[in-house]
Structures are given as C-alpha cells and as structure tokens.
Amino acid sequence: MKNELINFEKISRQTWQQLHRNTTVPLTQEELNSIKSFNDKISLQDVLDVYLPLINLIRIYKKASEDLSFSKSLFLQKKIKNQPFIIGISGSVAVGKSTTSRLLQILLTRTFKHAKVEMVTTDGFLYPNAVLKEKNLLDRKGFPESYNMELLLDFLNTIENGHDFQIPVYSHEVYDIVPNQCQTISAPDFLIVEGINVFQNPQNQHLYVSDYFDLAIYVDAAVENIESWYLERFKKLLKLAESNPSNYYHRFLDMSEDEISAFAHSIWETINLVNLKDYIEPTRHRADIILHKAKNHEIDEIYLKK
C-alpha cells in the first residue's frame, strides 16, 4: 500500500483480535454458510477475531454520531431527528463485499436487539440494459457512468430524512434490473450500502455518496488474488446456470474449458481490472476502515483512519 494510507493506523489481525474479549459468537456455522458468497471463505474464528471487534468499533462510532447530533440540536435549539447510522462498504468485484455486508447485518441485528438493520446493494442503481444500450454503455457496465447516481443520492437523502424509498432490484441471473420489482426501505436504525461505486464522485455534481456515510469500510486484497477469485466465481456461475436456460451465463456453456478461461480472463483484464485501477482503488483512502484479505480470503490486516 502506498503513501495514500499515511493517515491510517495499520493493525495486525493478532493485535486487532485482542481488542474484543467476548468469546461468544452470536451465530452458527450454518448461518454463516448461508450468508457468505458462494466462492468466499469465512469461519466462526474470523467472526470472533475480526468482526466482533469491528462491531465494538461501530458501537463507538454510533455513540459519537449520536452525541454530536444531540450537541448540535442543543446549539441550534432544535429537536433531534432520528437518523439511521449509514455504513458504506466498497471494494473490487469478487473481493467479498457482499459477505462482509450480510455478516455485519446479522451481527448488528443481534448486538442492537431492537434495531432495524437494512442492507442495499448499488447494483439496483445500475441503469437497465436497454438504457445502457441506448447510451452505448453496455460494455461499460459497472463503470461510474453506468449508474443512476442521482437516484442513489436521492435514496440516501430520503432515508436520512426519515421517509420510505423504493429502489429497483438487480438480478445477477438475468444480468439486468428486474422489471416491476422493488425493495422498500423504511426507517432503518442501521443502513448498509454495499457497492463498487459507493465512494466515487458522481458525474457533474459536487456531492459524494460517501458524504452520507457515518462509517466507510473498504474491503481490499492483492490484485492477483482478486483476479483468481473472480475467475473461480465466473466458473461457478456457469455451473449454476447449467439447469436454467434463462440464466445470463447459460449462453457460455457451449464453450470449451479453455475458451471459458480465456473469455473470463479477457473480461477481467478489459473491464474489472480497468474499473478497479481507475475508479475503485483510488477511492480506498476515503474509507474509515480498510479490511485487507490474504490469499486464503482471511483478513490479515486492518487499517484504521487516524
């Protein structure tokens, strides 16, 4: 990691795990298996060593946020408005953001007993394929210009002001926004927003999505590891598509093993790697916490903004 992380405290897993003494993990291995992405690896030991101290830290951030809100309301002589605590989670495609997000959702729900914890992925804010085609952006899917950032900002603003919002639903099976399907988010205590673009600057506007976050987390790993996880995931997606002709990945099943590897590698090189290098990784320094993963998917280092 370069000088961009000069204002981060680097903490080894060994040191980090000592920051939380509780030895009870509030979920089972079965529950953990059900929330992890299918090519990710995570154990109850990871929950104990990494995620429970992280929940402790979130508690500190939440308390600080509430104290500031209370002090500001006294200063302005205004009544406090209940606002959700918003956590943004970013990182490359295939790095394990979804697993981290779902795990945090379940741990927050069990730590803050009466809290409503919602999670959204910014895939739902991608323009539908028809619109991308019209804008000649189908090959740029996942790049900043393929997202309806205005809608994403509108969503965050609405939720922060205590109103309900319906967001579009994206399906990886059909590789598109699902028509006439919405996810309704209403008055959460915690909101987790996960996506490759959540720290990025929207086009032609001065507002960052991350301006709405109370805590920003970046999931990081060496590029060669992310690449091998992506290629592994691509092959597993093909396997899942075998019995479903309407699945987007079904069209690739006629290819030979070598052709599939070459095709997946070419998508990584020309799309995902370019997106990572040009748009995702340059936003890493905007995080409050960076979770760095080793080759075996285990988090080995944590970077905490000073």
Q: What is the pLDDT of residue 54?
A: 96
Instruction: Answer for the pair 226, 238: CB distance below 8 angstroms, yes or no.
Output: no
The torsion of the CA quartet 99, 102, 106, 111, rounded to 10 degrees, works out to 80
Span 119-130, pLDDT tens digits: 999 999 999 999
Q: Give the whole-angstrom CA distance, residue 228 versus residue 243.
A: 25
The total of structural domains in the chain comes to: 1
Q: Binding residue per annotation — 37?
A: no
Which among 193, 170, 202, 185 has a CA at the least distance from the CA of 89?
Answer: 193
Percent of the chain at pLDDT above 90? 78
Handedness of CA 109, 112, 117, 122 (dihedral sign): negative
Q: Binding residue per annotation — 91?
A: yes
pLDDT band (50, 70, 90) for residue 1: low
Mean per-residue pLDDT of the chain: 92
Half-sphere exposure of 233 (CA within 13 A, CB side): 19
Q: What is the CATH number of the domain that holds 72?
A: 3.40.50.300
Mean pLDDT of all residues in 274-294: 96
Q: Binding residue per annotation — 97?
A: yes
Q: What is the pLDDT of residue 165?
A: 97
pLDDT at 206 over 90: no
Beta-bridged to residue 188, according to DSSP, are none
Q: What is the DSSP string of 3-28?
A: GGGTTEEEEEHHHHHTT------SS-
> pTM value?
0.95
pLDDT at 64 over 70: yes
DSSP assigned state of 147:
B
Report the b/e string of 263-278 with b at 16+ CB within 10 A.
ebeeebeebbbebbee
pLDDT at 203 over 90: no
Instruction: Answer for the pair 75, 254: CB distance below 8 angstroms, yes or no.
Output: no
Q: What is the pLDDT of residue 21?
A: 73
Q: How many residues does the chain have?
A: 306
pLDDT at 3 over 80: no
Q: Binding residue per annotation — 277?
A: no
Q: What is the pLDDT of residue 204?
A: 56
Instruction: Answer for the pair 193, 159: CB distance below 8 angstroms, yes or no.
Output: no
Identify the helix (H) or strand (E) that includes residue 116. none
pLDDT at 90 over 90: yes
DSSP assigned state of 96:
S
Q: Give the whole-angstrom CA distance, residue 297 versus residue 130.
A: 36
Span 160-191, pLDDT tens digits: 999 999 999 999 889 999 999 999 999 999 99
Q: What is the pLDDT of residue 41?
A: 87
Q: Binding residue per annotation — 93?
A: yes
**Containing structural domain, residue 209:** 3-305
Span 141-160, pLDDT tens digits: 999 999 999 999 999 999 99
Q: What is the pLDDT of residue 82?
A: 84
Q: Which residues contact 100 (CB under 8 A, 6 or more apart)?
A: 89, 194, 217, 219, 291
Q: Give the whole-angstrom CA distance, residue 232 versus residue 227.
A: 9
Q: What is the pLDDT of residue 164?
A: 96
Q: Binding residue per annotation — 287?
A: no
CA 114-101-275 angle, to 5 degrees, is 150
- SS3 state at 40: coil
Q: Binding residue per annotation — 266?
A: no
Q: What is the pLDDT of residue 296?
A: 93
Identify the helix (H) or strand (E) that includes residue 54. helix 52-76
Q: Give the whole-angstrom CA distance, residue 134 versus residue 131.
A: 5
Q: What is the pLDDT of residue 2?
A: 60
